[in-house]
Structure 1
Amino acid sequence: MLPVERPLLTILLISSVIAFFIFSAQNLEFGSADYADSFPPWDAIYRQYELYYKDFGYAPENVYIIVKAEDVLSRDVMEYMLSLQKVLEGRDGVVSTSSPASILRDVLGDIPDSEELVGETAERLAKSLLPERSFALISVQIESMENDRLMELAEEIERTLQFVSPPPGVVVDVTGGAVLMYQIAKAVEEDVYRTFFIASVTMIAVLVAVFSGVVRSKLTVLFPLIVSLMSVAVMAGLLPLLGLQMTEYNSATIPILIGLAIDYAAQLQNRYEEERRGGREVDEALEEALNHTRFPLFMAMATTVIGFASMCAPGIPSLFWFSFLLSVGLITAFLLSNTFLPSLLKLSDRGGREESISPGILEKLLTTIAKVTIANSRKILALTLILIVVGAYASTHVELETNRRKYAPPDLPALVKFEEIERKVSPQYVYALVLSTERIDAESVVKAEELAKYISSREEIYDYDSLGKTLEEYYGAIPAESFSKAIDALPKSIYSRFISGNQLAVYFYTNTQTEEEVEKMMRSIENDLRFLEWDGDYYITGFPVILGHLSEVLFSSLNLMTLVAYLLIVTFLLLAYRSVVRAIIPLISISVAVASMNVCMLLMGIKQTTISIALNSIVLGMGIDYSIHITERYFEERGKFGVEESVKRTVERTGKAVLTSALTTAGGFGALYFSTFPVLSNFGILAFIAIIFSLLAATSAVPALLILYEKNYFREILKMT
């Protein structure tokens, strides 16, 4: 066996591979996820959303520059806005800009000296950009582009504000989708380093506090952490090789993997130390440890990876890459635990005492758990069943959060300023109705305008924009004879806003926010289209449509992933064990973990998000590890001892390694609590709770189930029924 026979060569070879991935990780880039990461590529509604922005050439959200002054309609402030707009429009990627100053210039030819005329005209034509006399907005329309270029442009816009100095007493800020994306990318980088540091320190504390009672030499207590960090290096180094960025969606993989990857190394090292204390020599102890742990560790790794694989079922890119990266990290940790760690143990083992150590607090605690479980197995299973039922009920009452702005740190400057805009101007939710026609002429525009006016008469819609309305504002009516000339005279920004090929876009402004309101609005527009007999193709899209549809996607994905995870894990266990009992028994701890998580979400008011829906698959995959280790050790002991003695020895001996694994995993997830992203912080809290309950179930409910099964309790129930 290479790790035992040539430990130094093994360590050198593996270290050279790890060094390559560490070097690759130096090229890691940080970015921000977008809604494309939350929908499967074949999703029809999101494809329409993308199609709209591709056809009409705009980015989904504008950049807004906030201008504050005692009087933003004063000449010096208005001239400042015009000069700033001129510089911005020279930036590559900026389609157009609009402000109260530019609207006045376009309508009146120049900014008039009459304050009364300025105020009256701005109030009439630029109300949406002038909520108060002391507060104005410059709207920057950006063309559709890749996220990397979009963030570069956002940074350029920030620098432009510093380049064009405002008049005295004028305060200027910037916000909007592109700026928020740019600031999120910087926050992700800071967050990754923070959670990595906290997770590493937590692992050291847990290993010193718990695992030091397992090892004979205190110098070896951190060996599992070394294996874990090497696995993280491989995963992080893989990102640049695959052309992936570290975003708020996958940044959680680092602290999670730090905690998860320790499991395999801790289990192997625990068994090795047990064999050494039993009097075996180094090589023999390694051989025994590998022989007895290789299959349980493989089963634990495989079931975890299978659980993660269920995240691929909905076809959502962010979930796919999340599961892929964690799976690669876990497979790496398994391989290192069976190669690098044995070599390290052999080189570092200089002998030492082999006598048994007197029981400490941990050993006494595990002994107590075993005794309580043996004496109260039926009560424990009854409580377990109640928790699972309550958890199933709670899962149907957990709300969803689909607005990605709520995922970001609440103190991001762009987010704070955006919320300020929403306080000044009522939140606008824009529906884009895209109408297809044979050709764009006066007749089709008139018909589209009639349709727009009819739909906008609904109570939920407070305003609308259309080509027909714009032509009426410019010319007093939709020109029939000089239609082509009138269209050609429109500014490019207005033309491209309403026309793309043979398509017309109509925009409806509403305050609808909830999923129910969005569905009602969609049905109303579709009913009106049928009633007025629009004979061309059409589709409805926009930000509220995507938010409403995302709720459906999240809910269906959550159920699908949970079902697939259970089916895959049970199928794998059946094939591996060829025993229904041994395949079903480990499921009890993961069912308890999922149930506890659902109950806590309901009680704590935590909503499901694009990230949290992955928790069921993660918990199902990793929570079953503890049950597998307990079950495997029980059947090993059962070949030599009775039922109760086997349970006692299993909980006392394997319990230490399982406890170490659970606490380090919980610590990895717990590090996410300190994330500045609320969605990741909640994710860490829920996972921490689920792991603790999974540990409790593995060391109590699983042994209780084994006891009752061995005593034929279930067979008696079947006979009675």
Structure 2
Amino acid sequence: EIRALERISEEFAGDGSGSVFQVVVREPGGDVIDADGLNAVLAIEETIREEAGEILADDAAERPAVSSYLSPVVTGAQFAGQDPAQMAAGGDEAVDGFLSTALGQTPPDQVSLLQSLVSEGSDLEGGSAEAGLVLAFFTGGNESTEAFTRQIEIEQAIEQSLGEIDSEAEIRPFSVSLLQGGTDNLGAEVGRLFGMAAAIIVAILMIVYWMPVKGNATWTRVIRRAIANMAITMLAILLAIAMAQGLGYLLLQAGVINSFNPVTQIVPVLIIGLGVDYAIHLTSRYQEEVGSGSSVDEGMSRAVGTVGVTLFLATITTAIGFLTNVVSPVPALSDFGILTAIGIVVAFLLTLTFVPALRLLFDRRASEAHALPTDGMEASEGRVLPRLVEKTSILAENFAVATLVIALVAAGLGFWGFRSLNTEFSFTDFLPEDSPMIQTSEILAEEFGGGFGEQTQVLITAPEGESLATGAVHNALIDANGQLSEIDDVSVVDVGGQSIINASSPYNLIAQELMNPEGAPGVSAEAEGAGMGPDLTVAEDADLTSLYQALLEAKPEEAGAVVSMENGRVGAMLWDIQTTAGEDDAGGLRAALADAFANVEAVGATVVPTSQNIVGDVVIESLTSSQTSSLVVTILASTLVVMISFWFENRRPMLGVLTMLPVAMVVLWTYGLMYVFGIPFGPVTATLAALAVGIGVPYTIHIARRFEEDRKRFADLNEAIRSTTRHTGSALAGSALTTMAGFGILMTSSLTPFRQMGQITFFAIALAMLSAIAVLPAILYLWEGWHRKRSPAITDGGLELQPEPDTKG
């Protein structure tokens, strides 16, 4: 479907019938078929013709460039030599009377069209309607980025001018271009969220980096050090964001990514959350080492050597998780995965280079001046947070089996919720819910059956090297065209009791030329030569190449929009149909169109119904079918990486599986909460598996690696678990609170995807912390206890109480 849209844009002149600019004139509880409504319509038309001159379609007898629900009044007055504005001065009754007279002289097909230009429940002949439409037909706008940008500028200028019209009625412009142009406000929204997240994280970092005032840790030194740690962390994050954006631009120029889009706008916020996490872990371990008596250089070397390995594994697994989006059916998600992976890698590199370098520069000088507040660092484990987190070790010591069973049951429920999630995707999600465009879109859907802005294309292509200009294909297309009027969401007009579809197609052009006495003689001659009957069918073996050539010569613009001919061969045709399916019924419309054109495929052609809404529906189907495989690939790939790491380090690959088990639970728990809170599965929430892995893996690896050290230090398994939760668990809790605050800001967004991202990230962080300090210690306790029962010599005499942290045992 996406490729079909691209081919339509490339091969068909003017990309079909151009675009429709709609203006809703609305007076809830009132009437827009009156003098004020006529004045509003006249002002709207004047504004559009003045502002949109370069893209406004040419006026034609069958379709004026601008028309409205009061067109019979306007054209009737002009035909009678009157000024429509003077008629409005005659009052409401004059307008109603003239409309009634004009409708009596209007052909039935046009009356049917006018009925569709007033809101449901209106009485057009009685001169009563709460809302009406003004339509303007624009050409082009899709041939290039520059043309599309220019069209948005013109339509925004029209929107501004329409807002200055003095009328009792609401005047609401709407178009796809205006809707897409509304995402320009996305940058401001992201900037606001980024600023708020940064401000809150700065405040929390000051708390996390705060040390007890004790001994040589004076108030001045503690404040200065907290500010310095916070500044170094934030500077590293800002550098990571800047470098990631720069590398992203280079990848854009190289064609690796498609664009910076609404989804990728959230990458800086992700880098803030994950980058802060990295810096807190490194800084906490460094201060712990220095507070225990190590020199500045020794402490940093040990911190980088231990935490650095953990962060490396976390970076690799997180990057793998986000890079699974590369195969996503949504190009924006693919770009998001690549840019996020780059940002995470850059943040990791800066954490292990830039942050230690700056910290060492400051601390070497402070150490030489005997101004390093080591007493405050030493006392950190006596603070409230470490003591509170240490209490969670009770679960591992006394209720390990029960904790694990409860966690597994919750994971099972989460998997059920995961399988029950609804999948939703809408471009309008990236606009504020109170956006005027969203409100107008809802009015069009509720009161005008979707309005006139929706176009659905059916692309018909010939097999490679063959042509569509055959009698068999032509007859099948005639049959398909007849079936279109029976599809509910295809717009039709009533002409003499017969439903005629609103569409641009080769069929319509041929029919118009043959029925028009002044039609091109070449087309009539070729049709007659091909033996075309009154129903426009021909012999199955007829060659219609000359007919299409004559049609392209007679009407190059109109025919070029629906017929693609190259080297004397008709390679593709287009049915550009006005539809009213909207996003909700796009899948049904796609299936109905495919059924209508089934006979065309039966004779060898390829048929692809497509539109922006159909593409969205296909995306939903693809996301639904790929979500399970993406989740499994992310978990398995991350588990393999962690297993390899633990095998090389201490020949215990099973520890990698145990470390990833709580992460898999976190993913399922979070999906379960999504189901409970009614958060659908979509392009943004589809990143949950990668996000949960990115957040959960560092937490569990920190715990697992610290436990590997502590189990060698302590003969008592309970003491080992307590030490792990006291030292590493408290750092995790501080990191989690900081990251939750940063991502929690997303929940204040007026954009649905960002708000949902904030919710699920908040859930994922909280659950990842819970799994790391409660579930994983229980697993490690059971596993280590089992090993010690099998090999009691591991702890003989308790002689391994204080080896170096990297000693193998």
What range is the shorter-chain TM-score in?
0.7 to 0.9
SS for the counterpart of 2:679 is coil
In structure 2, what residue type is equivalent to 1:347?
A: L
Q: Does 1:363 find its partner at 2:351?
A: no
In structure 2, relative to structure 1, the CA distance for the partners of 1:291 and 1:124 (3 Å cut) is: closer
In the other structure, the counterpart of 1:158 is: 156
Give the Cα–Cα distance (whole angstroms) in 2 for the partners of residues 546 and 336 of structure 1. 40
Is contact 2:4–2:459 with CA below 8 Å preserved after alignment? no
Equivalences for 1:17-56 in 2 at 5 Å?
45-56=1-12
Could you say if the C-alpha distance between residues 586 and 117 of structure 1 is closer, same or farther in structure 2, counting changes exceeding 3 Å?
Answer: farther
Q: Say whether residues 1:552 and 2:573 are aligned partners.
A: no
- 1:206 alignment partner in structure 2: 204
| 2:241 aligned residue (232, 244, 258) | 232
Shift of 1:388: 1.2
Measured in 2, the distance between the counterparts of 1:323 and 1:535 equals: 39
Residue in 1 that maps onto 2:395: 372
Q: Deviations over 1:522-541 (max 9, x none)?
A: 553254546xx656443322
1:95/1:493 contact within 8 Å kept = no
- Tell me how far 1:677 sits from its aligned partner: 0.9
**2:477 is aligned with 1:448:** yes
Q: Is the 8 A contact 1:589 1:695 kept in 2?
A: no
Asked whether the 8 Å contact 2:692–2:765 carries over to 1, the reply is: yes
Letter in 1 for 2:347: A
Task: Check conservation: 1:433, 1:506, Cα contact below 8 A.
Answer: yes
Q: Residue 68 of structure 2 contacts residue 133 of structure 2 at CA under 8 Å; is this kept in 1? A: no
Higher Rg of the two aligned structures: 2
TM-aligned CA deviation for residue 400 of structure 1: 0.9
Contact 1:586/1:627 (CA < 8 Å) preserved in 2?
yes
Matched, 1:65 2:25: no
Aligned to 1:306: 320
* Residue of structure 2 in register with 1:413 after alignment: 436
Matched, 1:634 2:707: yes
Deviations 1:566-622 (A, max 9, x none): 222122123222233121012122112211211111111111111111111221233
Aligned counterpart in structure 2 of residue 352 of structure 1, from 366, 373, 386: 373
Q: 1:484 aligns with which of 511, 514, 523?
A: 523
Counterpart amino acid of 1:600? L
Distance 1:677 1:167, change over 3 A: closer
C-alpha deviation, 1:547, in angstroms: 2.9
In 2, Cα distance between equivalents of 1:329 and 1:703: 31
Q: Is the 8 A contact 1:180 1:414 kept in 2?
A: yes
Q: Which residue of 2 aligns with 1:281?
A: 295
Residue type of the partner of 1:267? H
Contact map agreement 1:99 1:126 (CA 8 A) in 2:
no
Instruction: Report the Cα distance in structure 2 between the residues aligned to 1:197 and 1:638, rounded to whole angstroms.
Output: 43
| Count of matched residue pairs | 669
Is the 8 Å Cα contact of residues 227 and 336 (structure 1) preserved in structure 2? Answer: yes
Match of 2:54 in 1: 91
What are the within-5 Å matches in structure 2 for residues 682-697 of structure 1? 682-697=756-771
CA displacement 1:128-153 (0-9 Å, x = unmatched): 44446552222333422345642442
Instruction: Give how far 1:667 is off.
Output: 2.4
On the 8 A contact 2:57/2:137 being kept in 1, the answer is yes
Aligned to 1:525: 596
Structure 1 counterpart of 2:223: 218
SS in structure 2 of the partner of residue 212 of structure 1 = coil
Q: TM-score, normalised by structure 2?
A: 0.74
Q: Does 1:678 align with 2:717?
A: no
Say if 1:104 and 1:110, in contact at 8 Å, map to a contact too.
no
Match for 1:100 among 67, 88, 93?
A: 67
Q: 1:93 to 1:599 in 2, by over 3 A?
A: farther
Residue 707 of structure 1 deviates from its aligned partner by 0.8
**C-alpha displacement of 1:249:** 0.6
Q: Give yes or no for contact 1:232–1:254 (8 Å, CA) kept in 2.
A: yes
1:188 CA drift (Å): 1.1
2:275–2:344: 8 Å Cα contact kept in structure 1? yes
Change (3 A) 1:304 1:123: same
* Distance in 2 (alpha carbons) for counterparts of 1:311 and 1:318: 9
Q: Deviations over 1:308-337 (max 9, x none)?
A: 222223364322322222222222222222
Deviations 1:615-665 (A, max 9, x none): 112212331110001000100111221322111101100112212222222
Taking a change above 3 Å as real, the CA distance of residues 320 and 237 of structure 1, as seen in their structure-2 partners, is same
**Once the 2 structures are TM-superposed, how far is the Cα of residue 448 of structure 1 from its aligned partner?**
3.3
Query: Alignment RMSD, CA only?
Result: 3.8
Q: State the secondary structure of the residue aligned to 1:585.
A: helix
Deviation at 1:686, TM superposition (A): 0.7
Indicate conservation of the 8 Å contact 1:151/1:179, yes or no: no
- The 10-residue stretch of structure 1 (589-598 or 503-512) with the greater mean CA deviation from structure 2: 503-512
Instruction: Name structure 2 gaps, 5 residues minimum.
Output: 27-31, 81-97, 123-128, 253-257, 367-371, 493-500, 525-549, 791-809
Partner in structure 2 of residue 465 of structure 1: 502
Q: TM-score, normalised by structure 1?
A: 0.82
What is the identity, as a one-letter code, of the residue corresponding to 2:756?
N
> Quick one: distance in 2 between partners of 1:251 and 1:504?
36
Which has the larger displacement, 171-180 or 422-431? Answer: 422-431
Show the 5 A alignment for 1:262-281: 262-281=276-295
2:181 corresponds in structure 1 to 182
User: In structure 2, do the counterparts of structure 1 residues 279 and 544 end up closer, same or farther at CA, with 3 Å as the change threshold?
Assistant: closer
Deviations 1:416-472 (A, max 9, x none): 222222222112665433345857799977763443123433566563234445776
Q: Which runs of 5+ in 1 are unaligned?
A: 1-44, 717-721
Amino acid at match of 1:306: I
- CA deviation string 1:251-275 (max 9, x = no partner): 1111111111012221121111112
Distance in 2, matches of 1:182 and 1:489, equals: 37
State how far apart, in whole Å, the 2-side matches of 1:443 and 1:166 are: 55
State the shift of 1:85 in Å: 4.6
Greater displacement, 263-272 / 130-139: 130-139
CA contact (8 A) 2:473 2:605 kept: no
C-alpha contact (below 8 Å) 1:441/1:483 kept by paired residues: no
Name the CA shift for 1:559/1:444 in 2 (closer, same or farther; >3 Å): closer
Deviation of 1:706 after TM superposition, in Å, equals 0.7
Matched, 1:658 2:667: no
Q: Which residue of 2 aligns with 1:18?
A: none
